[in-house]
């Protein structure tokens, strides 16, 4: 069944370019995720948006556990500081002439990236910290987004290290398999590569 365009609509409308959203970590800058996202966008004629979620620092408490009437922080403009962090992270990973849209949005990372996933073709995340992977009950962002995002989610595998143990090699393979499964799910329109490129 086909739907005819209405009045004023073009029959051969050009589809929007695929949008690859990268969740940029304020800790690492997510260089692997950024580089993979750019390669994916180039392969499919898409564009990349780097998103850093930020929350203002908590104001120090006063006696009785009550917060001060006026929050006091060391940053005059947290939004501008977050924007500078994401621009710097992208420039470190890709160089100055990158063409990536850098965005800093206030809020928890999960909520911010869930909203971004509604218009994205694929969401790319940094690899979880090894310490969190080894901690039972640790709140990991990637698994939450894999099951709740509105688009496929690709999670970068941990970096390859010389002399890694067999257990860590198995974890590496598992991460790649998870990325492949996530990238092949979701809505149609963009066909991401099934696994991130190996680096080294």
Q: Decide if 141 contacts 128 (C-beta within 8 A).
A: yes
Q: Decide if 23 contacts 109 (C-beta within 8 A).
A: yes
Q: Where are the alpha helices (DSSP H) in the chain?
A: 31-44, 78-94, 109-117, 130-133, 141-148, 166-183
The residue among 145, 99, 153 whose CA lies nearest residue 124 is 153
What are the chain's domains?
Answer: 19-57+78-183 (3.40.50.620)
- Report the C-alpha gap between 172 and 31 in whole angstroms: 18
The model's pTM is: 0.65
Q: Decide if 54 contacts 75 (C-beta within 8 A).
A: no
pLDDT at 66: 53
- Report the C-alpha gap between 33 and 88 in whole angstroms: 15
Low-confidence stretches of the chain (pLDDT < 50) are 1-11, 62, 69-72, 134-137, 162-163, 192, 194, 199-200
pLDDT at 144: 87
Radius of gyration, alpha carbons of the chain: 20
Q: Decide if 86 contacts 24 (C-beta within 8 A).
A: yes
pLDDT at 13: 56
pLDDT at 149: 94
pLDDT at 140: 80
């Amino acid at each position: 069944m086909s739907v005819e365009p209405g009045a004023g609509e073009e029959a051969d409308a050009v589809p929007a370019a695929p949008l690859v959203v990268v969740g940029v970590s304020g800790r690492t800058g997510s260089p692997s995720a950024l580089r993979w996202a750019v390669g994916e966008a180039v392969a499919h004629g898409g564009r990349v948006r780097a998103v850093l979620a930020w929350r203002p620092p908590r104001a120090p408490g006063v006696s009785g556990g009550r917060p001060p009437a006026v929050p006091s922080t060391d940053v005059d403009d947290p939004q501008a500081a977050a924007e500078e962090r994401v621009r710097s992270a992208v420039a470190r990973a890709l160089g100055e002439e990158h063409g990536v849209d850098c965005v800093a949005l206030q809020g928890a990372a999960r909520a911010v990236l869930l909203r971004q996933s509604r218009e994205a073709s694929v969401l790319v995340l940094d690899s979880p910290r090894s310490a969190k992977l080894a901690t039972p009950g640790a709140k990991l962002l990637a698994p939450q987004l894999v099951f709740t995002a509105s688009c496929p989610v690709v999670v970068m595998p941990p970096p390859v290290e010389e002399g890694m143990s067999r257990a860590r090699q198995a974890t590496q393979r598992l991460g790649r398999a998870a990325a492949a499964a996530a990238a092949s799910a979701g809505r149609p329109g963009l066909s991401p590569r099934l696994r991130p490129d190996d680096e080294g």
